[in-house]
Amino acid sequence: MALLPWQKGIIEEIIQETADTRRFRVSIPGISQFDFKPGQFVTLDLPIHEKANKRWRSYSIASAPDGSNRFELIIVLDKQGLGTNYLFHEVKPGTELTFRGPQGVFLLKEQPEKQIFLICTGTGIAPFRSMLLNEINLGKDCSRFHLIFGCRHQSDLLYFEELKALSLQHGFKYFPALSRETWEGKTGYVHAIYEELCANKPDAAFYLCGWRGMIDEARERIVNMGYDKIDVHFEIYG
């Protein structure tokens, strides 16, 4: 498959989501509509290295397709990373970005008979926000979706108020879990949550997004629960 051409985008808005995470809203001049599928990503070509492949950073799109020429990324600062240091310290509204996309095949399959478990940590929530917003925008039944989101502290929760409100309005189940803090919600790691929800082994499909350690453990646990590997889909960050 031929690579997509590089395009120019403009940073329209930067929103501080948490202490070390920002939302970047990007528009694409010259086109009226940016067509992508929920779960896909874009690759940025950042001016951080002489070699092209050392400049590329890929991020899942966190917004849903809405017929406009805009998309949103949510990015966490890696203090040792050239890419995120550039994005956090050099980029501002009006900055031009070079990007390629959309790319990727981490997409929801048409499985209306299955319960859908979206399991993520950190900015791995991005493709799942896109998927859920798209289901809502299309007027689909969201009651079979279970969003399980793990992070360390309540201050690390991304899109928390939005997702809590949407879950109440549209019927999907939302399980934010904190591993380093006790609060009114779930505590511990994501694994105990889906294992409890699947104790009676409902017909289900699993989508995993986050760091490799979480994904590797989840894949093993889900198969050990009696599910087929074909029902486990994943995208690794980092």
Question: Does residue 138 sit in the same domain as residue 30?
Answer: no
Query: Does residue 129 fall inside a structural domain?
Result: yes
Name residue, tokens 């889909």: 233
- Whether residues 69 and 129 share a domain: the answer is no
Helix (H, G, I), strand (E, B) or coil at 86: helix
> Is the same domain home to 65 and 94?
yes
Verify cis geometry, omega within 30 degrees of 0, for the bond prior to 38: no
Q: Side chain identity at 215, as an amino acid letter? A: I
Q: Give me the domain span that covers residue 84.
A: 7-103
Confidence grade of residue 26 (pLDDT, cut at 50, 70, 90) = very high
- Please check whether residues 132 and 78 belong to one and the same domain: no
Same domain, 93 and 121: no
Q: Which residues have CB under 8 Å from 180's CB, separation 6+?
A: 152, 153
How many residues are listed for the chain in this entry? 238
**Is residue 171 classed as helix, strand or coil in its secondary structure?**
coil
CA gap 173, 38 in Å, rounded: 19
- Residue 82 domain-assigned (yes or no): yes
8 Å CB contact between 147 and 233? no
Residue 50 has what pLDDT?
87
Assign 176 a pLDDT band (cuts: 50, 70, 90).
very high
- Residue 109: inside a domain: no
Query: Are 20 and 82 part of one and the same domain?
Result: yes
Task: Work out the pLDDT band at 238, boundaries 50, 70, 90.
Answer: low
What CATH number should be reported for the domain holding residue 123? Answer: 3.40.50.80
Q: Which residues 6+ apart lie within 8 Å of 153 measured at CB?
A: 178, 180, 181
The answer to whether 77 and 118 are in contact (CB under 8 A) is no
**CA nearest to 202, candidates 153, 150, 156, 143:** 143
69 and 27 Cβ atoms separated by less than 8 Å: yes
- What is the pTM (predicted TM-score) of this model? 0.95
Looking at residue 161, its pLDDT comes to: 96
Residue 39's domain is classified under what CATH number? 2.40.30.10
- Is residue 148 located within the same domain as residue 87? no
Question: Mean pLDDT across the stretch 95-106?
Answer: 96
Burial (CB < 10 A; 0-12, 13-18, 19+), residue 221, is middle
Judge if 232 and 125 occupy the same domain.
Answer: yes
What proportion of the chain, given as a percentage, has pLDDT over 90? 91
What domain count does the chain have?
2
What average pLDDT does this structure show over 36-56? 94
pLDDT the model gives residue 180 = 94
Quote the CA–CA distance of 203 and 192 in Å, as a whole number.
18
Q: Let me know if residue 37 belongs to a domain.
A: yes
Please indicate, yes or no, whether residues 45 and 90 belong to a single structural domain of this protein. yes
User: Is there a contact between 78 and 50 (Cβ–Cβ < 8 Å)?
Assistant: no
pLDDT above 70 for 1 = no
Q: How confident is the model at residue 75 (pLDDT cuts 50, 70, 90)?
A: very high
CA distance 128 to 208: 9
Q: Do 121 and 226 sit in the same domain of this protein?
A: yes
Task: Give residue-wise pLDDT tens across range 191-223.
Answer: 999 999 999 999 999 999 998 999 999 999 999
Over residues 102-147, the pLDDT tens digits come to 999 999 998 889 999 999 999 999 999 999 999 999 999 999 999 9
Domain co-membership, 51 together with 159: no
The last residue of a domain, from among 48, 80, 103 = 103
Average pLDDT along the chain: 95
